[in-house]
Amino acid sequence: MNSIWTKDVRLPSFPTLAGDLNTEVLIIGGGIAGILCAHFLKERGVDYVLLEKKTICSGVTEYTTAKITSQHGLIYHKLLNEIGPELTAKYLRANQEAVRMYGRLCQAIDCDFETKTSYVYTRNDRRVLEEEANALARLGQKSRIEERTKLPFPVAGAIAMEKQAQFQPLRFLSKIAENLHIYEHTLVKEFKEKEALTDHGTVHFQKAIFATHFPMDNKHGMYFLKLYQHRSYVIALKDAPKIDGMYVDEAQNGMSFRNYKEYLLIGGGDHRTGKNGGNWEELRCFAKEYYPKAKEVGCWATQDCMSLDQIPYIGQYARTLPNCFVATGFNKWGITSSMAAAMILSDLVLEKENPYQEAFDPARSMLKPQLFLNGFEAVKSWLTVTSKRCPHMGCSLKWNSAEHSWDCPCHGSRFDEQGKLLDNPANGDMNVQK
């Protein structure tokens, strides 16, 4: 189940840590967020090291749909009502700056970077588009509502945002990661104050950035309550019509679309990790109905950390860890959010004020409806009688028949049939007992 991004791409390889070392900044996690943090710190002449438990980009980054956009669904009308115009404007500007930064970096990298228009469509509720267009206008962001699209089904309309982008993420990262100070196959097993312990040595640091998708430390920050994980699925079709843009449904259970070269990527089938959902079957039924002449040439799934309020957590890990920083909760928009996070965190570790950080502050209020849903799922799982338990916090695991894995409905850890860890926050394999 490899994504199309792995075709014809050779990522650089890095050694395994061998012995203790000292560094000013430790970055944990070798996905796009961690690599971009390392890139910006290197540009600024900061002493850093990045540790990755497997190989770079082998986690969630490999399975992205690689859309670079500030249009994260119909979010701006909601944010204006919930956090006000000042913080909403900072959220928008941070993401727009991330889009522009990709454009600048990709000028020198052969990674199929293309400027595209991003669309959020609705099948039946034009009113929500009008509300979003008004919100964007208040924020000074141009948009327009279009009546017709190149999608194969009728819509009530789509709100368009120009000058967004798409690219081949692994081609981009294969160049960005060159000559960075990285150790692969180096798992951080224990984290102490200014020390990270691995099987191959101890790293002593002054500051640390957690770019591990789901934060690995449960003792600080309450991330096990502030986050849950969500799975979504992608199929790649050949011989399907071009749609000339990036599309996402405003409905949570809708589908997304984008082209890459001769392929059409369709995403959807979403569900909370550990729950049931449409998975690839839903996408294949859709393709059979609307693109009967197309041929499926690839399929994959991805996992996203979801925050309580649809805004990522980027900033100080917790008040009790003043020299540690985190980037998580990207809510299905990990490519753009990773760039925003890297720009913010590279400022913060240098004790430089960043104009956008306040909008993403991990210490903001947790009193959101999703908090109670997360708590309910955890309690229900703890009370479920089963022999399959997640080593992260003891939740009961559910069998995922589509992917043949054991999945945790509390925090999203996943394990294969033999109990080998597939997705964090668990930091080790599960104990398989018959």
Judgement on whether residues 254 and 294 belong to the same structural domain of the protein? yes
Tell me what pLDDT residue 332 has.
96
CATH number at residue 17: 3.50.50.60
Q: Can you tell me the mean pLDDT for 164-172?
A: 98
286 and 142 part of one domain: yes
The pLDDT value recorded for residue 367 is: 92
Q: Please report the pLDDT score of residue 384 as a whole number.
A: 86
Across the range 281-299, mean pLDDT stands at 97
Type of residue numbered 313: Y
Whether residue 153 is found in the same domain as residue 206: no
Structure tokens at 244: 């000339």
305, 326, 352 - which closes a domain: 305
**Residue 179: which domain range?**
4-65+171-226+310-360
Q: Is residue 98 part of a domain?
A: no
The region of weakest confidence among 21-35, 76-90, 314-328, 372-386 is 372-386
pLDDT of residue 137: 98
If you count DSSP H runs as helices and E runs as strands, how many of each does the chain have, helices first? Answer: 9, 21
Q: What is the pLDDT of residue 434?
A: 43
Predicted local confidence at residue 432, as pLDDT: 62
Claim to verify: residue 211 and residue 333 sit in the same structural domain: yes
Cβ neighbours around 163 below 10 Å, total: 15
If you average pLDDT over residues 158-185, what whole number do you get?
A: 98
Q: Could you report the per-residue pLDDT of 39-90, keeping only the tens digit for each? A: 999 999 999 999 999 999 999 999 999 999 999 999 999 999 999 999 999 9
Q: Is the pLDDT of residue 370 over 80?
A: yes
Q: How far is it, in rounded angstroms, from Cα 122 to Cα 199? A: 51
Same-domain pairing of 243 and 212: no
CA 288-284-271 angle, to 5 degrees, is: 145
Does residue 51 lie within any of the structural domains?
yes
How far does Cα 433 stand from its chain's mean position? Answer: 32
Beta-carbon contacts of residue 304 (< 8 Å; ≥ 6 apart): 60, 229, 230, 231, 232, 330, 331, 332, 334
Residues 266 and 411 in one domain: no
Q: For residue range 144-157, what is the model confidence (pLDDT) as tens digits?
A: 999 999 999 999 99
Q: Which domain CATH number covers 381?
A: 2.102.10.10
- Residues 318 and 343 placed together within one structural domain of the fold: yes
Closest CA to 158 of 167, 171, 149, 169: 149
216 confidence band (pLDDT: 50, 70, 90): confident
Domain count, the chain: 3
Write down the pLDDT at residue 12.
97
- Establish if 79 belongs to a structural domain: no
197 and 339 assigned to the same domain: yes
- Residues of the chain with pLDDT > 70: what percent? 99
Q: Give yes or no: residues 221 and 321 share one domain.
A: yes
Of all residues in the chain, the percent with pLDDT exceeding 90 is 92
What is the average pLDDT score of the chain? 95
Residue 213 in any domain: the answer is yes
295 and 152 assigned to the same domain: yes
Same domain, yes or no: 139 and 250: yes
Q: Is residue 108 part of a domain?
A: no
**CA–CA separation, 424 vs 215, rounded Å?**
9
Crossing angle of the two packed helices 76-106 and 169-176, in degrees rounded to 10 = 60
Q: Considering 271, 287, 305, which residue would you say is the last residue of a domain?
A: 305
Question: Which domain CATH number covers 244?
Answer: 3.30.9.10
Residues 265 and 406 in one domain: no
Per-residue pLDDT, averaged over 98-112, amounts to: 98
Domain boundary among 360, 379, 402: 360
Bridge partners, residue 165, by sequence: 68, 115
With respect to residue 257, please indicate whether it lies within any of the assigned structural domains. Answer: yes
Q: Tell me the pLDDT band of 132, cut-offs 50, 70 and 90.
A: very high
Give this prediction's pTM.
0.96
Q: What is the DSSP letter of 143?
A: -
Contacts of 192 (CB under 8 A, 6+ apart): none
The answer for residues whose C-beta is within 8 angstroms of residue 198's C-beta and 6 or more apart is: 17, 51, 186, 187, 188, 189
